[in-house]
Amino acid sequence: MKNPIGICDSGSGGLTILETLAKALPKQSFIYLGDHKRAPYGHRSEEEILKFTIELVETLFKKGCKLVIVACNTASAVALRQIQEKWLPKHYPDHRTLGVLVPMVEALTGLEWDRYNPGISHVPQKNLAVFATQKTVDSGAYPHQVRLRVPNFQVIQQACPGLVNAIENNAREAELKALVSACCKKLSGQMFGEKLDVVFLGCTHYPLVENLFRDCLPETVEILSQPKIVSASLKVYLKKHPEFKGGEKQTLEFLTTGNPENLGHLEKFLHKSSPPFKKN
Ligand code: DGL
């Protein structure tokens, strides 16, 4: 496998990103690593999330990936900056890690991350909502970064307790529906009758049940696709940094820290059959 790109997540959520990336870059090889053994991350301490994310990234570096996408909003919001600014320059100065937060903020604001114009006010007011893990919500990363660039956007956050666990543990449809419907209700309670314009699922697990969110949200609400946005952003990045591109023929490898036998149910969520996970 030549120059594979690594993708990691606390569990199966990053597969939503990988699926779209693999289609968008049909010659690129990828190695996926899910930390199923320690998922979910959403209630863990920042120290744990940083430690686990470094371990995942390093495992993928050691397997030959020079670029790793941290396909987890929780890790991107809580740990990625420290990895990029402190750990990487010290241990792997020629390697790179990218997350999912930057492309989302760019898509939500229509502004490039490092070329923003703080205080921009001619953009019409919009109500945005992000569904995410409790840890991502607590980090405040999405509202902070969006409003830094476009202060007249309102960003409402809603945690979905239990949803990642339910997805990972092959919960029944009725249980998933009840969890999604409860968090949509809570979000609507935060709106105080105001109209919601855009929603995005700021946890890579949630697109696996996007249909359930669609059923619970008003029809006029646009749901942004994080996998599509991240994938478009990676394409732009690879144009600027062809040194991280690789191969003529796509190979996909799926690794888990957990038990591969427990992952058979993923085909219920993904468009293809369950990926053939191997124990890392
Ligand atoms: N899928 C991850 C995210 O995007 C993490 C979920 C979790 O492990 O709690 O936030």
pLDDT in tens, 25-66: 999 999 999 999 999 999 899 999 999 999 999 999 999 999
Mind telling me the catalytic residues? 72, 203
What is the model's pTM? 0.94
What is the distance between the alpha carbons of residues 117 and 13, in angstroms, rounded to a whole number? 33
Contact (Cβ atoms closer than 8 angstroms) between residue 19 and residue 227: yes
Residue for token pair 């686990």: 52
Would you tell me the crossing angle of helices 101-109 and 226-240 to the nearest 10 degrees? 100
* The residue type at 177: K
What is the distance between the alpha carbons of residues 41 and 135, in angstroms, rounded to a whole number? 8
pLDDT in tens, 91-110: 999 999 999 999 999 999 98
| Other Cβ atoms within 10 Å of 114 Cβ, number | 7
| Local structure of residue 125 (DSSP, 8 states) | P
Residue for token pair 């010290």: 90
How confident is the model at residue 170, as a pLDDT? 86
What is the distance between the alpha carbons of residues 258 and 39, in angstroms, rounded to a whole number? 9
Backbone torsions φ then ψ of 125, nearest 5 degrees: -60, 140
Find the range with the poorest average confidence among 1-5, 29-33, 131-135, 211-215: 1-5
Q: Is 73 in the pocket of ligand 1 (CB under 6 A)?
A: yes
Greatest CA separation for the chain? 53
What percent of the chain is modeled with pLDDT above 70?
94
pLDDT at 248 over 90: no
> Which of 78, 136, 203 best tests ligand 1's pocket when mutated (most atoms within 8 Å of CB)?
203
Q: Is 9 in the pocket of ligand 1 (CB under 6 A)?
A: yes
Find the range with the poorest average confidence among 21-25, 121-125, 150-154, 162-166: 121-125
What are the tokens at 182? 């409860």
Residue 217 makes CB contacts below 8 A (sequence gap 6+) with: 184, 196, 199, 223
What are the tokens at 224? 């942004």
| Other Cβ atoms within 10 Å of 134 Cβ, number | 16
What is the distance between the alpha carbons of residues 41 and 80, in angstroms, rounded to a whole number? 14
CA of 121 to the centre of ligand 1 (A): 33
| Mean predicted lDDT score pLDDT of the chain | 92
Q: Is 255 in the pocket of ligand 1 (CB under 6 A)?
A: no
Q: What residue ranges in 53-152 does DSSP mark as E strands?
A: 67-70, 96-98, 126-132
Q: 124: number of CA atoms within 13 Å, CB side? A: 2
Cis peptide bond N-terminal to 40, omega within 30: yes
Q: Which ligand 1 atom minimizes the distance to the CA of 204?
A: 4
Distances (CA, A) of 137 to 91, 123, 129, 143: 30, 25, 11, 9
pLDDT in tens, 171-229: 999 999 999 999 999 999 999 889 999 999 999 999 999 999 999 999 999 999 999 99
What is the distance between the alpha carbons of residues 128 and 117, in angstroms, rounded to a whole number? 19
| Other Cβ atoms within 10 Å of 233 Cβ, number | 19
